[in-house]
Structure 1
Amino acid sequence: MLRRLRRVPSVLLPLVLLGTLAACGNDTGSDASSGPLSAVSISGDPGKAPEVSWKQQMETTGIQSTVLHQGDGPAVKDGDSIYANFWIGDGYTKKKAYSTYDTGQPQLIKVDSSSLSPVFKEAVEGHTIGSRVAVTAPADKAFGPTGNPNLEIGNKDAVLIIVDLLSTVLDGPQGAQKPAPAWAPKLETKGDAVTGLDFSKAPKPDGKLHSAVLIEGTGATVAKGQTITVNYLGQVYGGKKPFDESYSKGQPTSFGIGTGQVIPGWDETLVGQHVGSRVLLAIPPKDGYGKQGQPSAGIKGDDTLYFVVDILGAH
């Protein structure tokens, strides 16, 4: 991944998401006024950071989930990709341990039975988009026998996880096909994946920033400051192969848009597009990597960059 194409979040929680954890039975749909959740008061609107007030230390022996707010979106299934925010608290110290709300960017989560932790899977699978779900569990069942030292959660502590299910992410572009402009190279594809660009009949770049919608999605409009999820391929004009792409990796990438996390040509052209769209970009040096280029990727200071971008989600 090229520098300034994506900024990787500085804090990740692999021990929350990985499926190497042991899971005992669960008690779904428990009453928030009884059981472990009786130790806290949770308020606030879904989509915003929850307000958690501790009444007493939390105790729990198993994994329990409670729907605090029922969303009206589709139910999340195994194999889906979703945006979610989550809040983690330590029921022994009665303190917040981590919150994605603090970073301002939701997490992209693949709901995969083979890799997602049972605790987190309990919080998302089967619940509807728009829901807020609370899950309680002993730390050794949530994180393993040592608890989570990185979050200062002991192995005997009770853990509270609050998850807001925000939106789903598409598997590929969805919408009406649009004719390619005269400046466009030919796309080489395999199924929904773009494998390369053929410049044999494309005119020389004119030094201007261009964008064209090849598939017009019908999803939400991308707004400045959102996190978007995309598949993409980049190739310099006349290049024989891509200098970077995500299609073959089996996992799209996410980043903030319109805020300088990516090259200027992306910020300027992708804001205002619709989720589900496939967009073709021609980006001159001044809107890409400048006169210095990106030597590590074989990009010279006078190269025009061409990108295909499939916008799969935005939140």
Structure 2
Amino acid sequence: MSRRTTRLLSVLLVLPALILGGCGDESADEGAGGEGLSAVTVSGDFGAEPTVTWDGDFDPGKLETETLITGDGAEVEEGQQVFTRLWLGNGFTESKAYSTFGEDAKPELLTVGGDMTSAISAGLKGQTIGSRVVVASPPKDAFGEQGNPQLGIGNADPVLFVMDLVSVLPDGPSGSDEKPAGWAPAVEGDEKPTSLDFKGTPEPSDKLRVTTLIEGDGDPTEKGQTIYVNYLGQVYHGEKPFDSSYERGEPLDFELGAGGVVKGWDQGLTGIPVGSRVILAVPPDLGYGEKGNKDAGIKGTDTLYFVVDVLAAI
């Protein structure tokens, strides 16, 4: 249905096909003659880029974790997705390698217990929202034998992680129930939508239409924001959905207004309060046009109906 925007998170994943020789001495004993968190000083307020002072030979022999600021939010749970500000330092060169702090940068969405490095997992587990956590990591627990060429981190380089836990991505809408417009199909499914029922639904219009099922209690979305949504799509009188993120268990993120999704989404989801569940009726010219989408079974004359949960906007 749409294309995903490139995520900065990709540079944090281990790249098994790329192996970079360590900037440090790979034959050196891990942690020999060095220190972990005692060799650095990290200061600064939550949400602001940390100030890191390298005080000694940073070469931790094992993972070390310290909570510098304890947040008063909820404790994160296994499987939850957490918006996190990240600062990474190369312990060999004693320099910043990566940061998502700053006005123009956006936090990463990390899954607690997910496919992350051991160091990042250690910084998330058991923490509360609003916390700042620092992790000193030996090479094997940061990026493994491959290192991380994109960040200039070799396979023998220790890494310092500073993590600000900003918020949890909700798993569903939150707000007040609203009566949908008469043109809208019924949504089937108890907790999560499974399909749309078009029984009694009038013929579609050639205009984009939006109706609210749940009015979210968050701020309205704006163009240029990255929004996170769950959705289900079905053509008018279609027997089953042609796409569903609910079924995959993986929300979609995209930049609103950037053309990465069908025009009906860019237009219809702008100004929607975060936490809302809406139904969109997207005419062909704001969907896939005259060519349709053969792979999804969508003809050029099909009107597309979507139920969309707007989970977050950053």
TM-score scaled by length of structure 1: 0.81
Match of 1:66 in 2: 66
Q: Which moved more, 1:193-202 or 1:53-62?
A: 53-62
Match of 1:183 in 2: 183
Q: Is the CA contact 1:138–1:155 (under 8 Å) kept in the aligned structure 2? A: no
Distance 1:292 1:53, change over 3 A: farther
Q: Which moved more, 1:304-313 or 1:287-296?
A: 287-296
Distance 1:216 1:105, change over 3 A: same
Q: Is 1:314 aligned to residue 313 of structure 2?
A: yes
Percent identity of equivalent pairs: 47
Q: Is 1:282 aligned to residue 281 of structure 2?
A: yes
Question: Equivalents in 1 of 2:159, 2:253: separation in Å?
Answer: 28
Count of residues paired in the alignment: 293
TM-superposition CA deviations, 1:64-105 (whole Å, max 9, x none): 223343333222222322111322221102233333459834
**1:39 positional shift:** 4.7
Equivalent AA in structure 2 for residue 187 of structure 1 = V
**1:273 positional shift:** 2.2
**1:57 positional shift:** 5.1
Structure 1's unaligned 5+ residue stretches are 17-34
Alignment of 1:108-123 (within 5 A): 108-112=109-113, 115-123=115-123
Q: Is 1:77 aligned to residue 80 of structure 2?
A: no
Distance 1:11 1:110, change over 3 A: closer
Match of 1:215 in 2: 214
Structure 2's unaligned 5+ residue stretches are 16-34
Question: Equivalents in 2 of 1:294, 1:96: separation in Å?
Answer: 45
Distance 1:169 1:10, change over 3 A: closer
**1:233 positional shift:** 0.5
**1:48 positional shift:** 4.8
Distance 1:53 1:285, change over 3 A: farther
Alignment of 1:14-93 (within 5 A): 14-15=13-14, 36-37=36-37, 39-40=39-40, 42=42, 45-52=45-52, 54=54, 58-93=58-93
**1:247 positional shift:** 1.0
Equivalent AA in structure 2 for residue 140 of structure 1 = K
Question: Equivalents in 2 of 1:303, 1:68: separation in Å?
Answer: 55
Counterpart secondary structure, 1:193: coil
Q: Is the CA contact 1:57–1:93 (under 8 Å) kept in the aligned structure 2? A: no
Counterpart secondary structure, 2:289: coil
**1:309 positional shift:** 0.6
Q: Which moved more, 1:231-240 or 1:72-81?
A: 72-81
TM-superposition CA deviations, 1:215-267 (whole Å, max 9, x none): 22324443333322221011122222222111111222222223333222222
Alignment of 1:1-315 (within 5 A): 2-4=1-3, 6-9=4-7, 12=10, 13-15=12-14, 36-37=36-37, 39-40=39-40, 42=42, 45-52=45-52, 54=54, 58-100=58-100, 104-112=105-113, 115-189=115-189, 191-315=190-314
Q: Is the CA contact 1:263–1:289 (under 8 Å) kept in the aligned structure 2? A: yes
Counterpart secondary structure, 1:228: strand
Match of 2:24 in 1: none
